[in-house]
């Protein structure tokens, strides 16, 4: 057992290694493999049985993107995973599905705005949530074959794309709504050049197990990949740090009546969540063995509380967690949070806890997925408190000697 000081020092080291020394680590990239290896080494050092669960993915690189009409240049960013292009064509402005059904787009660049750019369109092959009208828009675009797409940004603060889909093959870029309006009014042809590359790659989940022959198990998960362009301290070096710290805490404890599985997921921030799908395909049939799944994402934000959201838990179990909460001054209950890796389990009726920061929802557009997501935002003391809280929940089960849920 380490001292509090030693744990805090290690927590800082893990966060620094993942988010500063390794830095951005999109699924399938070289940095993603460095993070995978770091996690694997520590889990093995802490006497867990470690497996890499591999899957195919795309490693996407981007270079410069330029957009101009005549002498006017506009700021544009490629949609993540966009194919490259270098072309000049006339613009066709489309604002809703009815217009899209009517229009002829062959040889043109389509500029989408208005109703069509109110929310991100789910990737074609995204399995968990895929509304019909998204699929209809994508199907119409593929049938009408514009040579490229421009989309008005979903945010006024910075350029937020509508498309993020490595299975969608029409090159696309995002511009501000202000520039989209100027471009829409011009009748000059527009020149769009996107420099990018899709490369076939391999990614892996890191799965660590202790006492894996036990019929019942507790599963703690956290994703370790990031979006491109962010060092991902809160999202989600902190969650991975909880896994690594728990492995340290359980290093010399022998479990008898329950197995412990620590899963570092890869691909929560990748368009088709391939790590989560691989895990579900391989182990979905055994989810009835899971007493409790705990997912950690975005916890430990400075000047915030640790937010715990319970899903699919019995009233009895909720009462037990409430009684544990009282011993932790920085833990607060949140209403169910229907996004993230924990939904894998909650959707299959596995009792599930999602752990994050109560104030993180205010940072979604400004910090999370941007270069501002840095270790200085993290309070290591809160990360340690989350680890003790999870450990306490596991102890509760042991003391009462009955399944907790």
Q: By the criterion CB under 5 A, which residues form the site for Zn ion?
A: 235-236, 297
The nearest distance, CB 160 to Zn ion, in angstroms, is 17
* Nearest in space to 64 (alpha carbons), one of 175, 193, 156, 163: 193
If the CB atoms of residues 17 and 297 are measured against Zn ion, the closer one turns out to be 297
Nearer to Zn ion, 236 or 304 (CB): 236
Beta carbons within 8 Å of 362's beta carbon, 6+ residues apart: none
CA dist 378 and 65 (Å) reads: 34
Three-class DSSP category at 350:
coil
Sequence-ordered list of residues with C-beta below 8 angstroms from that of 143, at least 6 positions apart, any chain: none
**Cα–Cα distance measured from residue 14 to residue 320, given in angstroms and rounded to the nearest whole number:** 31
Paired strand residues for 192: 67, 87
Between 237 and 310, whose beta carbon lies closer to Zn ion?
237
Shortest reach from residue 392's CB to Zn ion, in Å: 24
Cβ-based nearer residue to Zn ion, 266 or 291: 266
Strand blocks (E) in 185-285: 190-210, 217-223, 259-265
Task: For the CB of residue 251, give the shortest distance to Zn ion in the complex, in Å.
Answer: 26
HEC per residue, 33-77: HHHHHHHHHHHHHCCCEEEEEEEEEEEEEEEEEEEEECCEEECCE
By three-state DSSP, how is residue 151 classified? strand
Shortest spacing between CB 389 and Zn ion, in angstroms: 19
Cβ closest to Zn ion, residue 151 vs residue 221? 221
Q: Which is nearer to Zn ion, 164 or 297 (CB)?
A: 297
Calculate the alpha carbon distances from 171 to 10, 88, 104, 244, 287 in Å: 44, 13, 18, 40, 40
Helix (H) or strand (E) holding 226: none
Where does residue 339 rank: exposed (0-12), middle (13-18), buried (19+ CB within 10 A)?
exposed
Question: Least distance in Å: CB of 304 to Zn ion?
Answer: 16
- Smallest gap from residue 58 Cβ to Zn ion (A): 19
CA distance 280 to 289: 14
| Least gap, CB of 68 to Zn ion (angstroms) | 36
Q: Strands (DSSP E) along 235-315, which ranges?
A: 259-265, 290-296, 306-311
| CB nearer Zn ion, residue 153 or residue 226 | 226
Q: Given the complex with Zn ion, which of 117 and 236 has the nearer CB atom?
A: 236
Minimum distance, C-beta of residue 146 to Zn ion, in the bound complex (Å): 33
């Amino acid at each position: 057992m380490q001292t509090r000081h030693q744990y805090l020092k290690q927590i800082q080291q893990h966060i620094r290694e993942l988010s500063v020394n390794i830095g951005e680590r999109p699924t399938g990239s070289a940095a993603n493999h460095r993070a995978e290896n770091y996690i694997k080494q520590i889990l093995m050092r802490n006497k867990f049985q470690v497996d890499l669960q591999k899957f195919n993915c795309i490693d996407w690189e981007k270079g410069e993107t330029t957009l101009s009409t005549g002498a006017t240049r506009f700021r544009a960013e490629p949609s993540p995973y966009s194919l490259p292009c270098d072309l000049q064509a006339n613009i066709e402005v489309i604002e809703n599905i009815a217009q899209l059904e009517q229009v002829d787009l062959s040889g043109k660049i389509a500029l989408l705005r208005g109703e069509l750019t109110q929310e991100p369109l789910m990737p074609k092959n995204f399995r968990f949530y895929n509304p019909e009208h998204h699929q209809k828009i994508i199907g119409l675009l593929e049938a009408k074959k514009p040579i490229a797409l421009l989309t008005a940004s979903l945010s006024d603060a910075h350029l937020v794309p509508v498309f993020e889909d490595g299975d969608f093959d029409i090159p696309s870029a995002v511009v501000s709504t202000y520039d989209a309006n100027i471009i829409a009014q011009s009748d000059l042809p527009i020149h769009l050049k996107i420099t990018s590359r899709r490369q076939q790659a391999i990614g892996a989940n890191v799965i660590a197990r202790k006492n894996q022959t036990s019929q019942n198990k507790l599963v703690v998960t956290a994703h370790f990949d990031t979006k491109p362009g962010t060092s991902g301290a809160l999202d989600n070096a902190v969650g991975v740090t909880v896994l690594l710290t728990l492995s340290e805490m359980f290093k010399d404890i022998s479990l008898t009546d329950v197995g412990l599985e620590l899963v570092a997921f890869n691909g929560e921030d990748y368009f088709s969540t391939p790590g989560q799908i691989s895990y579900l395909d391989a182990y979905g049939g055994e989810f009835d063995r899971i007493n409790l799944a705990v997912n950690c994402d975005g916890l430990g934000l400075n000047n915030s509380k640790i937010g715990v959201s319970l899903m699919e838990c019995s009233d009895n179990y909720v009462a037990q967690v409430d009684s544990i909460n009282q011993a932790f001054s920085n833990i607060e209950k949140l209403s169910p949070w229907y996004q993230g890796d924990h939904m894998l389990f909650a959707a299959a009726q596995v009792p599930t806890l999602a752990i994050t920061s109560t104030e993180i929802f205010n940072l979604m557009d400004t910090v999370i997925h941007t270069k501002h997501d840095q270790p200085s935002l993290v309070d290591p003391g809160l990360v340690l408190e989350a680890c003790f809280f999870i450990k306490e929940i596991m102890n509760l089960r042991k003391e009462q000697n009955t399944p907790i849920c």
